[in-house]
Amino acid sequence: MERLIQTLVDGVATGSLYGALALAVVLIFRTSGIVNFAQGEMAMFSTFVAWGLLEAGLPVGLAILATLGLSLLGGMVIERVLMRPFEGGDHLTLAIVTLGLFILVNSGAGWIWGFENRSFPSIFPDDTIGVGGVDVPLESVGIVVLLLAVVGVLYLFFQRTKLGLALRAVSVNPESSRLSGISVGRTLMVGWGIAALVGALAGALIAPRLFLDVNFMGGVLIYSFAAATLGGFDSPLGAIVGGWIIGVTEDLATTYVDFIGSDLKILVPLVIILVVLLVRPAGLFGTREVTRV
């Protein structure tokens, strides 16, 4: 029983991390209508920047905050420089561009920081906390709480602010947005910036659990895509819930099903993606239009 609760808590925590990156992916999909294959690598790059700031002597919290700010800017720059010229292009072109970005960022990070593993500190103290009478890592609980806070802030941003309204308008109907005087390009920039920021946060939270190296977000990206697919690619809520489901399923599977060792874990998201796409392509919370991609 104790093992079950620990597995569940860990699953929800891991799932929150998948959900966080999935959220970034969904944000971009909603605003720009494309799947950003480079989202994980962007997050990885941001995490390395944070690491660099740490090495330079900044305290953890400050380093991460600075990184979030830089990532916001970075995301905006990427939209303006790389994505804007391809606005309205066909899916193949856009997919190739984001793949090119994936490779570029991955190798760029390797070039700048090398390919060795390094460790990354957690922002949470190494402690335990009682959940349901069982001791679980404080970090796990902290991650879940932090993610929920982020979701809350984003919700308020999108629903209560003018800029958030503009973002929603642009994602629903860019033409009409233009006719109402909204600068679609600039709004998209903000969307990319926010997504990059969320991705950076995800990276900073994931890095302590794995080793920080240029490929550490690669596997996570697949899980996040699975989460987004399960939740519905245009649903932020779906990204989170999908993440939780996948996190818990994965942990339960690896703990209780012997065949799936740590090396075949990657099959879990793959199978989930296939099943969802064959049974209910719109996912749990997605809208029907999503499937007409």
Partner 1 sequence: MTGDRRLKLGGFAVVLVIALALPFLFGAYQVGQFTLVLCYAIAVLGLNLLVGYGGLISLGHGAFFALGAYTSAILIDKADVAPLATVPVAAAVCFAAGLLLGLPALRIRGLYLALVTLAVAIAVPQLIKRFDALTGGTQGLNVPRPTTPSWVPLADDQFLYFLTLAFAIVMFVLAANLVRGRIGRALAAMRESEAAAKATGVNLARLKTGAFAVSALYAGVGGSLYVFSIGFVAPESFTLTISFAFLAAVVVGGLGTIGGAIFGALFIEFVPVYASDVNEALAGVIYGAVLIAFMFALRDGVMGLLRQIAQALTTKEGRDERETAVRLAGGDRRRGAAPSGGMRA
Partner 2 sequence: MSLLEVEDLEAGYGDVIVLRGVSFAVQEGQVAAILGPNGSGKTTTLRAISGVVQTRGRIELDGHSIAGLSPERIARLGIAHVPEGRGTFAALTVAENLRIGAYRRGDGQGIRRDIERCLEWFPRLDERSGERAGNLSGGEQQMLAIARGLMLSPRLLLLDEPSLGLAPVLTRELFGVLGDIAREEGVTVLLVEQNAKLALRLADYAYVLEAGSIVLDGEADGIEQEEAVQHAYLGQ
Binding site for partner 1 (CB under 8 A): 34-35, 37, 82, 85-86, 91-93, 95-97, 99-108, 110-111, 114-115, 218-219, 222, 225-226, 229, 263-264, 266-267, 269-270, 273-274, 277-278, 281, 293
Q: Which residue has the tokens 């190798």?
A: 107
Task: Give whichever of 128 and 173 is closer to partner 2, judged by the CB atom.
Answer: 173
Q: Does 161 bind partner 2 (CB under 8 A)?
A: no
Task: Give whichever of 107 and 183 is closer to partner 2, judged by the CB atom.
Answer: 183
CB of 167 to partner 2, least distance (A): 11
Report the alpha-carbon distance of residue 293 to residue 281 in Å, rounded.
Answer: 11
Tokens at residue 259, please? 């065949």
Q: Which residue has the tokens 């380093």?
A: 63
Q: Does 168 bind partner 2 (CB under 8 A)?
A: yes
Q: Does 82 bind partner 2 (CB under 8 A)?
A: no
162 contacts which partner out of partner 1, partner 2, none, CB within 5 to 8 A by kind? Answer: partner 2
Query: What is the footprint of partner 2 within residues 169-208 (CB under 8 A)?
Result: 169, 172-173, 175-184
Q: Does 165 bind partner 2 (CB under 8 A)?
A: yes
User: Each residue of 148-171: b (16+ CB within 10 Å) or e?
Assistant: eebbeebeeebeeeeebebbbbbb
Helix axes 138-160, 184-206, angle to 10 degrees: 170
Scanning the chain, the segments in alpha helix (DSSP H) are: 2-32, 39-55, 60-78, 91-113, 138-160, 162-172, 174-179, 184-206, 216-231, 236-256, 267-279
Task: Give whichever of 130 and 181 is closer to partner 2, judged by the CB atom.
Answer: 181
Report the alpha-carbon distance of residue 26 to residue 243 in Å, rounded.
Answer: 12
CB of 48 to partner 1, least distance (A): 13
Residue 150: name the closest of 69, 34, 240, 60 by CA: 240
92 contacts which partner out of partner 1, partner 2, none, CB within 5 to 8 A by kind? Answer: partner 1
End-to-end CA distance of the chain: 44
172 contacts which partner out of partner 2, partner 1, none, CB within 5 to 8 A by kind? Answer: partner 2
CB of 123 to partner 2, least distance (A): 36
Task: Name the residues that contact partner 2, by CB under 8 A.
Answer: 162, 165-166, 168-169, 172-173, 175-184, 287
